[in-house]
Amino acid sequence: MTEKVVLVGIPAAEKRRKYFEERAAGGNFACSFRYIPASEVTEADLRDVSAVIGNVSPPLLAAAPELEWVQLNSAGADPYVKPGILRQEQALTCASGAYGLSVSEHMLALTFGLVRKMGFYHHNQEQRLWRTEGSVTSIEGATVLVLGLGDIGGSYARKIRALGARCVIGVRRTESAKPDYLDEQYTMEALHELLPRADIVAMALPGGSGTTHVMNDETLRLMKKGAYLINAGRGSSVDPEALRAVLEEGLLGGAGLDVTEPEPLPADDPLWDMPNVLITPHVAGQFFLQETFERIVRIAGGNLEAWTHGKELTHQVNRSAGY
């Protein structure tokens, strides 16, 4: 028996082909592989496949009646857990754990950029102005509130603590043992009490209805005057109108955004012109760092081996949470 596997968005270099073939070898069945760019996948490509490794347009999965397992390249899976996309018996796994290194370092870059007013100085550079922009703040001695303590949020919290943050507070969805790199840990119910304490609020929340506009007009106005907001999770977690308002009023020191609502951010959005706002086009993760890609491949290869040998898959998606 031969099972057909489609690999999407993974470069089909000889080294990569050999790796996946080796992971699938010696299992309960043989595998044949096809490598297809994500933008070129069609319903016809999926009609007789048993597994998909990579992210395809979610509605296309309904055209795969023999599909047993989907391994995503992404850590978040919210588009794939919506009703009508996958049947309950079809396994869904993700690449959680692959992005912590890259995204946490990007969040650190945004953090340093904000506290050292790099947006202002870049604006001055464009105008060839040799001008100081006044006092700055520091990570050392700061109180940092991290929303979302998965691989990304946890990696950022460890790094920010190592840089001398006085107090690192973590907020997660459910209660669990507090890791050593946190000084305090709470669930989202405590958010209103925590926001006024933080000099920096760093967001690495997943998507879904439970996190939509967590930072809204009410919660943004609870933040300490002059504090900084960083978001590298989902753009939908921050109400864009409320964010623009508090920035224009000078309540926040600034914001660092790798994700926005909507994406792409419209060219006429006022956020583009604010020197205390740093914007990157959702590039903290993806494959820009080679190690991220290698981690994704290792996760997929490990699950491919488990699937062909009838063993339990790792990185299984919690379908109610979407990650």
| Residues shown for the chain | 323
pTM attached to this predicted model: 0.94
Question: Which pLDDT does position 276 carry in this prediction?
Answer: 98
Dist. CA 239–CA 220, nearest whole Å: 9
Q: Is 145 in contact with 194 (CB distance < 8 Å)?
A: yes
For 100-279, CATH number? 3.40.50.720
Dist. CA 281–CA 258, nearest whole Å: 6
Segment 33-62 shows an average pLDDT of 94
Question: Which pLDDT does position 141 carry in this prediction?
Answer: 98
Q: What percent of the chain has pLDDT over 90?
A: 91
Strand intervals (E) in the chain: 2-8, 30-36, 51-53, 69-71, 91-93, 143-147, 167-172, 184-187, 200-203, 228-231, 254-257, 277-279
Segment 52-81 shows an average pLDDT of 94
Whether 12 shows a pLDDT value over 80: the answer reads no
In tens, the pLDDT along 250-262 reads 999 999 999 999 9
Whether 9 shows a pLDDT value over 90: the answer reads no
Whether 17 shows a pLDDT value over 80: the answer reads yes
Dist. CA 271–CA 288, nearest whole Å: 25
Q: State the amino acid at position 14 in one-letter form.
A: E
Q: Do domains 2-98+289-308 and 100-279 have the same CATH topology?
A: yes
In tens, the pLDDT along 148-202 reads 999 999 999 999 999 999 999 999 999 999 999 999 999 999 999 999 999 999 9
Q: Structural domain boundaries of the chain?
A: 2-98+289-308, 100-279
Segment 237-261 shows an average pLDDT of 98
Terminal alpha carbon distance of the chain: 32
For residue 178, the 8-state DSSP code is P
Name the average pLDDT for the chain. Answer: 96
Reduce the DSSP state of residue 300 to 3 states and report it. helix
Q: State the amino acid at position 188 in one-letter form.
A: M
For residue 316, the 8-state DSSP code is B
Whether 117 shows a pLDDT value over 90: the answer reads yes
Dist. CA 152–CA 177, nearest whole Å: 18
Whether 118 shows a pLDDT value over 80: the answer reads yes
Reduce the DSSP state of residue 19 to 3 states and report it. helix
Question: Which pLDDT does position 13 carry in this prediction?
Answer: 80
Task: Enumerate the active-site residues.
Answer: 234, 263, 282
Name the CATH topology of 2-98+289-308: Rossmann fold (3.40.50)
Dist. CA 199–CA 60, nearest whole Å: 44
The CB density around residue 130, as the number of other CB atoms within 10 Å, is 6
Dist. CA 110–CA 276, nearest whole Å: 11
